[in-house]
Amino acid sequence: MRKGIDLFAGPGGLSLGLIGAGFEMVGAVEWDPHAGRTYRHNIGDHVYVRDLREFGPRDMERALKKERSIRSKYDIDLISGGPPCPGFSLIGRSKISNLIQTGQWEGSDSRHRFIDDQRNDLFREFVKYVGHFKPRYFLMENVSGMTSYKSGEDSSIVDVIVSEFENLGYRVKVRLLLASEFGVPQDRKRIIFLGWKKGQCEPDFPVGSDRRITAAEAIQDLPQVDPGTGRSTSEKLKRMADIPRRGSPGYSFLQRVRGASTPLTKPTVGRRVTLHHTRKVNPRDVGIFPLIESGEFGERVLYKDVYPERLSEVILPDGYEHSTVDGNPVVVGTKSGDDRSWKWYNPTKFGDKMRRIRGDRPAPTIVAHLAKDGYMFIHPYEDRTITVREAARFQSFPDSFDLSAGGAVPISSQFRQVGNAVPPILAEALGSCLLKAMGTD
């Protein structure tokens, strides 16, 4: 069996997909303890919770030899991973651009150049691993925003990265892939680097399909959630016999995620639903969410379209009312002993902060910001933000994958992990192409 190492492994989405394709993942590195715990709980003990800058390739080689996973560093056929590059993402650019404008950013003006963020240099740690182990192939994944960036010498960042690998004797091909074309119910666009040593067979990219799985199809069997508690109203999934359009891509997707296992966890029995929880909806949002529209059934309505022009239409639950503090509108509690209040976001800065997911299309890109709030991911038809299980479905994780690691990981980290992960189904498609190339070289 072909052996691989997963760097910046997160909870293990990339590893899970590669294992599904037929790889044996013998080593993984992840710096976040929660994500590392999730990886260990679902995939295996071969994950090292370390900062990759302090756990180099020689450390990994020694560890793998000690565990008798390899006899030689040349036993590694694949190095894979997605170096975190927050400056390349749209959210990262917006945040740093604001720091520049307020004089809090000490780096260069990054709007047309590579952001001076040391985390964006982590891909060089990936390069070090490739240079040391000299695997036959490598797979590197990153955000699509990388394609529009320039380095300090006005070179394309993509070209800079490619040249790093070419200097090691690898050939490289690069392509933007849309996850929804490969069976993932999410329009997640990622740049993929496939590399192979000279003399090895050139790998192909997987071929996509125009048969998309919609957000509604991906979560249609999940029970409703009480917005007041953020908890599921039932412990059971719907019966597959009650799911419409048997044989459709959406039906097949549900069969897969409900029935698939991970290396260390099995599918739940009795249609039991897990991790179907989210944050409870506060009184202010109880009034706002019903007015937010995705555009699936008419005109799209965002937060800026509700506040302040339609403030009179925001109907609050009993015990709460509209008021003002220092001249600014707020929602306050009127019951004895309830001194809580909820401010309104500035619509000129946070106009699109609240968005409802369209049920008739793949979900938008699931992001790690879910750890802070889920306002960009309001349920297609219920007036609440999505649950961990729904986010995991949109990322194509099987229901057997426990992002809580047996209850040890808090919900905020569960959201962060799933937002940072590589969709396992996309990873499996890529892994299958790599194995095909390995079988013909």
Looking at the annotation, which residues are catalytic?
A: 85
Q: Between the CA of residue 11 and those of 28, 49, 369, what are the distances in Å?
A: 10, 11, 16
* Residue 34, both tokens: 């929660």
DSSP structure class, residue 115: -
What torsion, rounded to 10 degrees, do the Cα atoms 254, 255, 260, 265 define? Answer: 70
Report cis status (omega within 30 of 0) of the bond before 244: no
Q: What is the gyration radius of the CA atoms in the chain, in angstroms?
A: 23
The dihedral sign for the CA sequence 54, 57, 62, 66: positive
Phi/psi for 58 (5° steps) reads -65, -35
* Residue 23, both tokens: 């790889």
DSSP helix, strand, coil percent of the chain (3-state; round to 5):
35, 15, 50
Distance CA 11, CA 9 (A): 6
The answer for residues whose C-beta is within 8 angstroms of residue 387's C-beta and 6 or more apart is 222, 225, 230, 232, 275, 276, 277, 278
Angle between helices 57-66 and 123-133 (to 10 degrees): 50
Distance CA 221, CA 238 (A): 5
**Collapsed DSSP state (helix, strand, coil) of residue 70:** coil
Distance CA 409, CA 77 (A): 32
